[in-house]
Amino acid sequence: MTTSSHSPKGVAPPTILQVLPALGGGGVERGTLEMADYLSRMGWNSLVASEGGRMLEQLEKSGSLHFSLPLASKNPLVMRRNIDRLVKIIKENKVDIVHARSRAPAWSAYFAAKKAKVKFVTTVHGIYGFGPFGIKKAYNRVMLKGDLIISVSEFVSRLIQREYSVPEEKIRVVHRGVDLDTFSPDKISKEQIAAVRDAWQLPAGKTVIMMPCRLSRWKGHHLLLDAVNLLENKDDIVCVFVGAMDSRSGYKKEILKYAAKLGLKQNVKIFGYIGDMAAAYMLADIVVSAATKPEAFGRTIIEAEAMGRLVIAADEGGACETVKDGLTGLLFKSRDAEDLADNLERIFEMSKREKEVMRETAQSCASTEFSTNAMCAKTVKVYEELL
């Protein structure tokens, strides 16, 4: 899709500064890059401030300018110095809107925008905990200080209205998007799929159930193992857990130990971050999102749907907006291993035609409702409201 500038002739294009901790490999970072690329293609000026990271080269290729600042720091002194650094960037580059995407840098960005007298927008990407004595809630509140607030789902919108008494008219829901140029079965070669299969050494003839998510306890790895353990055909299944992991946490060993306890050690494979996630999805028969607390949105669900995978997700949080139960995928009772097992059985019992229809419906829904271009276009509308 091509885009064009919204600026009248003779008028300088708007300048947007996105602020986030770093450019690692998560959903926040990917959304920032997608927005930066879209703005550049529109003819707007795209700036990003962060600590940098492995996605920096990709950002700069899109035509955006990057400013390296210690924005991941929660040290009050560093955060205070970041205010003046950001003010300088805002003034020297004639920034019109500062868009903060994470709490620590948002505090610096908020005061910088206020000092420089420019508009301030936030995106609430996650569900923040409150912690003891209300301290965490006070820290979170910076994400509600935007002139307008972007929420990644209706679920998050309702949450911040309830917990922070934010008026609904101040919130704009913009669902996260999937890059259909990347996540499309037609664009994945047999060689790409073979490369991932060879690297992972998956056993032939097994049903592959994939959980693509960060290796964190609340993501529900144990729950999926409990569900698989209830299945009659469990010996024919391999669970593939793929996503970024903290090598120091010991959680990988914990999962493997639990799998061994259930007699499922041979049924589990764990892999870290993979660059070609689209090809990885093609190896999955079923993609499961089994988080034990609500997901704010859950981008991997729409990625899997776009790739024509059969999806099962917990029936709470953002998943209720991305999975139409029985049409684009299945929803199971959250934290209920037995219900998850029943839904796995339901897929196993589907006819080939029923599976094809579900895959096609999911792909159609992802392309019409959850594309990257749709996400970016809606975000630009938020910017235009403030310009």
Give Cα separations from 39 to 23, 277, 334, 344 (angstroms): 18, 25, 38, 42
List 237's β-bridge partners, or say none: 207
Residue 127 confidence class, pLDDT cut points 50, 70, 90: confident
Query: Mean pLDDT in the chain?
Result: 93
Arithmetic mean of pLDDT, 168-194: 95
Percent of the chain with pLDDT over 70: 95
What confidence tens digit (pLDDT) does each residue in 39-65 have?
999 999 999 999 999 899 999 998 999
Spatial separation of the C-alpha atoms in residues 213 and 282, rounded to whole Å:
16
Give Cα separations from 306 to 96, 149, 185, 259 (angstroms): 35, 27, 8, 30
What confidence tens digit (pLDDT) does each residue in 365-387 have?
999 999 999 999 999 999 999 99
Q: Please state the φ and ψ torsions of residue 282, each to the nearest 5 degrees.
A: -65, -15
Question: Looking at residue 274, what is its pLDDT?
Answer: 86
Arithmetic mean of pLDDT, 263-268: 95
Domain pair 15-177+371-386 / 185-369, same fold:
yes
Domain range annotation of the chain: 15-177+371-386, 185-369
Does the 15-177+371-386 domain belong in CATH 2.40.30.10? Answer: no
Taking CA 42 as the corner, what is the angle to CA 8 and CA 66, rounded to the nearest 5 degrees?
115
Residue 220 confidence class, pLDDT cut points 50, 70, 90: very high
Question: Looking at residue 136, what is its pLDDT?
Answer: 78
What confidence tens digit (pLDDT) does each residue in 315-363 have?
999 999 999 999 999 999 999 999 999 999 999 999 999 999 999 999 9
Token pair, residue 381, equals 């509308």
pTM score, whole prediction: 0.88
Report whether pLDDT(8) > 60. no
Question: Looking at residue 134, what is its pLDDT?
Answer: 62
Which one, of 92, 11, 87, 95, lies nearest residue 46 by Cα?
Answer: 95
- Protein fold of 185-369: Rossmann fold (3.40.50)
Give Cα separations from 260 to 237, 263, 337 (angstroms): 15, 5, 18
Percent of the chain with pLDDT over 90: 84
Q: What is the largest CA-CA distance in the chain?
A: 70
Burial of 18 (0-12, 13-18, 19+ CB in 10 A): buried
